[in-house]
Amino acid sequence: MRLTHFILQRIFIILGFSILFYSCQNSEKKEGIYIVTTTGHIADLVRNVVGDKATVVPLMGAGVDPHLYKASLRDLKQLQSADLIFYNGLHLEGKMGEVFHKLSRMKKVFAVSDGIPKDSLLMVDAENHIPDPHIWFDVQIWLYCLDKVCKEMILADPENKEYYLKNTAKYRRELNGLNSLIKSGFQTIPRNERLLVTAHDAFGYFGRRYDVEVIGLQGISTLSEYGLNEITTLSRMLISRKVKAVFIETSVSEKAIQSVIEGCKQQGHLVKIGGSLYSDALGAANTPEGTYIGMQKVNLKLITEGLK
Ligand SMILES: [Zn+2]
């Protein structure tokens, strides 16, 4: 009995050391500044500021829904070995709030949304002060997040201050160009027909900035349910305004949107799917829609062509 106990004890000690050694190897310090972000939008924003001074890794790839995302063991290791972490905040990463809260006690963890003046936020529930987290859809609001990243990078790495300021100014010019492009793009569509129907309510900021009426079938988070009433009301609205297209999203199930198309069809009105919009996730890396500016341009083309 004693011998078995002794052998078991040895096995546990050896196992313990192996696990410790393995974790040390995996959390090995990477060369240069190592930054981890949640979404691809934020990774792209940070990359435009840091250039070649840091490695930037997003946890969520193409087609991933941040509302439902849970950190894997691999993600936790990456977060632990990061020098800086940037996330969206405003409860976009619904299931990761606790992780960031704990990590913020030991390292630099920033919500890019902290750079936005409170009165610029769109409220989905004003009474309970619940803001819409889809801030990247208003390019002018995204500029506040750009400044927030630049400010934190200068504090973290003051030696490269001029470099970060120069990169930020360059990207600001590009974003201002994008903002004008989206604005002028929508002016080609008559106001009454500027109705953007999507799978979930991600385009609120987009609608406010670019003067487009926006309806998401599911709520602000993909967690919320949609019902028959919403589908009936929406079908009637599409019919009365002769809207030609509705849109699906790359990171959300298209089931709800298909119900609306079916609802219209039963009443003799044909509505097509105008395309799959990039909402809460960028496209694949190394494609035009794999960058923030690229995904905005693809969306703009799909929406304006679909509604015409
Ligand atoms: Zn969303």
Q: What is the pLDDT of residues 147-199, one digit of tens each?
A: 999 999 999 999 999 999 999 999 999 999 999 999 999 998 888 889 999 98
| Nearest-angstrom CA–CA distance, 227 and 241 | 22
Task: Please name the residue ranges forming H helices in the chain.
Answer: 2-26, 40-50, 73-81, 97-103, 139-156, 161-186, 204-210, 228-240, 255-266, 292-307
Question: How much is the pLDDT for 180?
Answer: 98
Pairing type for strands 130-131 and 123-125 reads antiparallel
Q: How far is the CA of 204 from the centre of ligand 1 (A)?
A: 10
Rounded Cα distance between 144 and 113, Å, is 8
CA 59 – ligand 1 centroid, Å? 16
Q: Tokens at residue 298, please?
A: 């693809």
197-231: buried (b, 16+ CB within 10 Å) or exposed (e) per residue?
Answer: bbbbbbbbbbbebbebebbbbbebbbeeebeeebb
In whole angstroms, give the CA distance from residue 273 to residue 306. Answer: 8
Do strands 33-37 and 54-58 pair parallel, antiparallel, or not at all (unpaired)?
Answer: parallel
Q: Find the 8 Cα to ligand 1 centroid distance in Å.
A: 50
Q: Is the pLDDT of residue 23 over 70?
A: no
Q: How many CA atoms lie within 13 A of 123 on its CB side?
A: 9
pLDDT digits (tens, 9 = 90+) for 103-117: 999 999 999 999 999
List Cβ neighbours of 3 (8 Å cut-off, separation of 6 or more): none
Given a cut of 80, whether residue 227 has pLDDT beyond it is: no
Structure confidence at residue 220 as a pLDDT band (50, 70, 90): low
Alpha carbon of 201 to ligand 1 centroid (Å): 7
pLDDT in tens, 30-67: 578 999 999 999 999 999 999 999 999 999 999 999 99
pLDDT of residue 275: 94
How far is it, in rounded angstroms, from Cα 198 to Cα 279? 10
Expressed in angstroms and rounded, the spacing between residue 125 Cα and the centre of ligand 1 is 15
In this structure, what token pair is assigned to residue 31? 């060369």
Name the average pLDDT for the chain.
88
Half-sphere CA count of 256, side-chain side, radius 13 A? 26
For tokens 């009995």, what's the residue? 1
CA 256–ligand 1 middle distance (angstroms): 15
Cα(110) to ligand 1 centroid in Å equals 20
d(CA 216, ligand 1 centre) in Å: 10
- pLDDT at res. 224: 61
What's the CA-to-centroid distance between 308 and ligand 1, angstroms? 26
245 Cα to the center of ligand 1, angstroms: 20
Residue in the structure block whose two tokens are 């809460």? 280
Rounded distance from Cα 223 to ligand 1 centre (Å)? 9
List the single range of 97-101, 118-122, 229-233, 262-266 with lowest mean pLDDT: 229-233
Tell me: pLDDT of 27 over 80. no
The Å distance, Cα 193 to ligand 1 centre, comes to 24
Ligand 1 mean position to 200 CA, how many Å?
7
Residue 23 Cα to chain centre, angstroms: 30
Tell me the CA–centroid distance for residue 280 and ligand 1, in Å: 5
The least confident of 89-93, 238-242, 296-300 is: 238-242
Centroid of ligand 1 to alpha carbon of 243 (angstroms): 23
What is the whole-number distance in angstroms between the Cα of residue 237 and the centre of ligand 1? 23
- DSSP code, position 29: P
For helices 255-266 and 228-240, give the axis angle rounded to 10 degrees: 50
Q: For residue 25, how far is its CA from the centre of ligand 1 (angstroms)?
A: 36
Ligand 1: centre distance to CA 242 (Å): 27
**Spacing, Cα 37 to ligand 1 middle (Å):** 17
pLDDT of residue 303: 96
- How far, in Å, from the CA of 116 to the mean position of ligand 1? 18
Ligand 1 centroid to Cα of residue 212, in Å, is 18
User: What pLDDT is recorded for position 304?
Assistant: 94
What gap in Å lies between CA 67 and CA 91, rounded to an integer?
A: 8
